[in-house]
Amino acid sequence: MRTRHKVIALAAAVSILAFGPAMAFAQQEQAQAATQVTVDLSGLDRGNHQEPLAQTGDEKQLLAASVAAAGAGATGLGLCIKRNQQ
Partner 1 sequence: MDITRNMNGARALVVGAGLALALAMGAAPTPAMAAGRVGSTKVMVKTEIDNVNFKVPTVIPFIAKADGTLQGPSEDATTIDNLSAYGIHVTNMKIDAMNTWTIAADAKTGTAQNSIDFKVGPEGALQDASAAMQGTGIDLSKNATFDMGYQGIAGGSDKIKLKTSGNVARVTRDIFHVTGEGDQVATITWTVEPGAHTA
List residues binding partner 1 (CB under 8 A).
27-44, 46-57
- The residue among 50 and 61 lying less far from partner 1, judged by its C-beta, is 50
Q: Which is nearer to partner 1, 1 or 41 (CB)?
A: 41
Task: State how far the Cα of 34 lies from the Cα of 59, in Å rounded to an integer.
Answer: 9
Residue 59 dihedral angles phi and psi, to the nearest 5°: -65, -15
The CA distance from 42 to 55, in Å, is 27
Q: Which is nearer to partner 1, 29 or 84 (CB)?
A: 29
Least separation in angstroms between residue 66's CB and partner 1 is 15
